[in-house]
Structure 1
Amino acid sequence: MAGVGLDQPFFDDKNRAFWILQSAGWTGYFILRSLSGFSNSMGLVWLVHTALLTATGYSLTLLMASLFRRLIAMKPIWTLVLSLAVVVLAATAFSIIETWSVATFLKPNLELGPRTYLSAILLDFALLAAWAALYYGINYFLLLESEIKQRERLESQASTAQLAMLRYQLNPHFLFNTLNSISTLVLLKQTERANAMLARLSSFLRYTLANEPTAKVTLAQEVETLKLYLEIEKMRFEDRLRPHFKIEPETIGARLPSLLLQPLIENAIKYAVTPSEDGADIWINATRQGQGVRIEVADNGSAEGADLSASPSTGVGLANIRDRLTQAYGPAHGFATQENDKGGFSVIVEIPYETGDKDT
């Protein structure tokens, strides 16, 4: 099939498709008219007459196609009017040639006059109008298909840009606080702690830059990144920050947008750990539920996190997470916030279970 060009869409090469359809159409016209003549005992001379008409129609439609390629770019009203005029002129020429052929090959005694030359114009007009309608129908379909593909590309690019924008909206407070803590450690001449904190910050930022903003990572990779982030924060808060991970083995291969959970941890630190002298516990739980994965980030703070989505100071916040989930999964996800039985705040994310190769 590849040898005859059927390994690609038929209209990928529009020029080739035109010649194939043009030749096939007029070949069919020649065969049908020939069979019609033979069925009426017209003799072999009918083939000469039919061949002449076929060549005439083939040539006229080539000229029409050349004109239509220019007319199709005009305003619809001008395309319609001028195309109709072209079809009328072509049908007139076709009728004159057909009448001359009849008088020459089939009816030598036929008296020729203006009315005689136009005797076949209605049938010829119908034939050429049908050809023109098919020509415009195919080309408008191809134009529509091209517009749809272009719109899909633009929508895809817009979606990718939005995902990238959302992904890059990391809270600048985190970076500011971390650098401020490093500066303080340097002033206190605690160089080992400062170097350790700087190394962890460097690793975390390297991860954020190395991964494509629209890419998905495994839950195992996301958890490792969260642990790296928490190690940085734990150097600031020490024992006041108490993270707990409970990740079921069945979920570690699930894929999700990179750094999806980091803003949730950051908000939990801001609203649960920072205000309390005793700090707070933060739980990150992931469980497999049917064809999906349920991820919960919970704390035992004061449940003030319920205001995150409305607060402009939370950086990406809950609104950003909702947008990223919508972009990544459409309606096939769940997102909920609630006060939990520990007296704190919980964010629950439910996503389809996807792996790198296929969904399961």
Structure 2
Amino acid sequence: MTDRIDDAVKRGFAPSEEAPEGLADARRSRFSTKAGGRSANDRSGNGFLADSALSDDMDLRPRNFVQRRLPDLGIALKSILGFWLLYLALITLRAVVLDFPDFWAMLARRGAVVLIGAALTFLVYLALRPLAASTLNRKAIVAGILCLPASIAFSAFNYYVFYIFAPLDAAEWDASMKDLTPLEMALQNIVESALSWYFIFAAWASLYVAMSYAKELRAADRRAAAFAREAQEAQLRALRYQINPHFLFNTLNSLSALILSQRIEKAERMIMTLSTFFRTTLSADPTADIALEEEIKLQRLYLDIEQVRFPDRLKVEVDVPEHLAGVRVPVLLLQPIVENAIKYGVARSRGAVTVRISAYEEAGRLHLKVKDNGEVPPPHSCDDCGGTGVGLKNVCERLIARYGVQAGCFHGPDPEGGYTVHVIMPVIRND
């Protein structure tokens, strides 16, 4: 019989057994920041600060200079190109509709003017880049100031192309200031045109600042969502890995008592059940969903172990309809609730206590209830949830974070006696 126990222990806790992926990786890397690197537990001189331990996977230096300095380059180029191509199309359409003379020669010059306008707009973008981390109001004010010299420069170039550099008949036809000297006419034309062009550049600047700010908001939303997912996954992993130490200690004490009293077969069954429980909970993906029947099996394993501690006091009832067996639920959702029922309902009672797990479907929602008819726990004791470090409060928050307003969690003294925890969530089945 002793050989059977040894064999059971080996099968349950054998060192050669394949460890969970995260644990195996941690053993191989010894918690180093680099594969095959040194550990924080190494001797002095061989730790993180030696040999540039953070120079590979955790190198914080940017690998793309342009991406670091010009993160909104794509937005700027697309907006500039679209803006000035639209302007070229509109003035060309205007020339066609009004039948301006020298159409093709003027079109070539309009194209040159548009290129200069795009170049000046790009310079405004470059001048705005140092303000990437500034507030929206400051960006808008600086953009408005930068558009003024850009509009003056563009107006001067536009005047030079159409009125100074080989003037065309169309330019002569458009001129209305022949009584002024050439310098006066140039200055007046440039100033008046600059006011009109200013609003063109300001329109682009407003578009760019708005698009850039919208991109920053989207990036912030993605970061916030990523942090929320990481926090939720960390909470789920805590639920799996932070095994109740009192449960483990009490189980080992019960196992020791069984061995001392020569109840070897019962001790062997308890070892196998404990091994299966730990192996299942540690190998399950904490962020995944499992079938309700699998979740119930996990709770039965736990309750089988507790029944060894309380053979005369703990009674278990499970009422789960067959059509709900395949409904998907978060893994180990019921574990802290059942532990709470054992700690406060069974352990504190002198008589027999029944822990009942039931499920039913109503209005497209899955209702799960864990009820015990033991002594009612004192106020606020459920926040402890049996020492798991998660608590009923976090279980409820986990449901709400996962399903939103479609989920809920209620718990309190039952009118019929004892304590009841009621969990509601959407009914999700595999397609």
State the TM-score, normalizing by the size of structure 2: 0.70
Of the three residues 102, 105, 109, the one matched with 1:43 is 102
Q: Secondary structure at the match of 1:294?
A: strand
Determine the C-alpha separation between the residues in 2 that align with 1:129 and 1:320.
Answer: 51
Q: Secondary structure at the match of 2:226?
A: helix
Check conservation: 1:309, 1:319, Cα contact below 8 A: no
Q: 1:306 to 1:249 in 2, by over 3 A?
A: farther
Q: Deviations over 1:308-340 (max 9, x none)?
A: 745747324543443333333333224233325
In the alignment, structure 1 residue 100 sits paired with structure 2 residue 157: no
Check conservation: 2:240, 2:332, Cα contact below 8 A: yes
Check conservation: 2:340, 2:385, Cα contact below 8 A: no
- Tell me how far 1:289 sits from its aligned partner: 2.0
Q: Secondary structure at the match of 2:310?
A: helix
Q: 1:100 to 1:274 in 2, by over 3 A?
A: closer
Q: Deviations over 1:118-151 (max 9, x none)?
A: 3421112122221222222221221222112212
Residue matched to 1:349? 423
Of the three residues 210, 215, 226, the one matched with 1:137 is 210
Of the three residues 138, 146, 169, the one matched with 2:219 is 146
Which AA in structure 2 matches 1:112? Answer: P
Q: Deviations over 1:262-319 (max 9, x none)?
A: 3333333334434455522322222222312222223333x32465745747324543
Check conservation: 1:34, 1:47, Cα contact below 8 A: yes
Determine the C-alpha separation between the residues in 1 that align with 2:386 and 2:244.
Answer: 7
In the alignment, structure 1 residue 214 sits paired with structure 2 residue 272: no
In the alignment, structure 1 residue 226 sits paired with structure 2 residue 299: yes
Of the three residues 160, 169, 182, the one matched with 1:112 is 182
In the alignment, structure 1 residue 315 sits paired with structure 2 residue 380: no
Q: Secondary structure at the match of 1:213?
A: coil
Of the three residues 314, 321, 331, the one matched with 1:248 is 321
Check conservation: 1:245, 1:284, Cα contact below 8 A: yes
Check conservation: 1:98, 1:120, Cα contact below 8 A: no
Which AA in structure 2 matches 1:43? Answer: D
Residue matched to 2:80? 22
Identity of aligned residues (%): 32
- Tell me how far 1:50 sits from its aligned partner: 2.1
Determine the C-alpha separation between the residues in 2 that align with 1:72 and 1:271.
Answer: 56
State the TM-score, normalizing by the size of structure 1: 0.82
- Tell me how far 1:224 sits from its aligned partner: 0.8
Q: How does 1:166-245 map to 2 (within 5 A)?
A: 166-245=239-318
Q: Deviations over 1:186-213 (max 9, x none)?
A: 3334443323212211111112211223
Coordinate RMSD, CA, aligned: 3.0
Residue matched to 1:63? 123
- Tell me how far 1:74 sits from its aligned partner: 4.5
Check conservation: 2:88, 2:114, Cα contact below 8 A: yes
Q: Secondary structure at the match of 2:428?
A: coil
Residue matched to 2:410? 335
In the alignment, structure 1 residue 325 sits paired with structure 2 residue 390: no
In the alignment, structure 1 residue 304 sits paired with structure 2 residue 379: no
Determine the C-alpha separation between the residues in 2 that align with 1:318 and 1:169.
Answer: 15
Q: 1:69 to 1:185 in 2, by over 3 A?
A: same
Check conservation: 2:241, 2:282, Cα contact below 8 A: no
Q: 1:16 to 1:272 in 2, by over 3 A?
A: closer
Determine the C-alpha separation between the residues in 1 that align with 2:157 and 2:423.
Answer: 76
Q: Secondary structure at the match of 1:118?
A: helix
Determine the C-alpha separation between the residues in 1 that align with 2:272 and 2:415.
Answer: 35
Count matched residues: 343
Q: Deviations over 1:84-116 (max 9, x none)?
A: 343221111111122222323223996421334
Which AA in structure 2 matches 1:69? Answer: R
Which AA in structure 1 matches 2:123? Answer: L
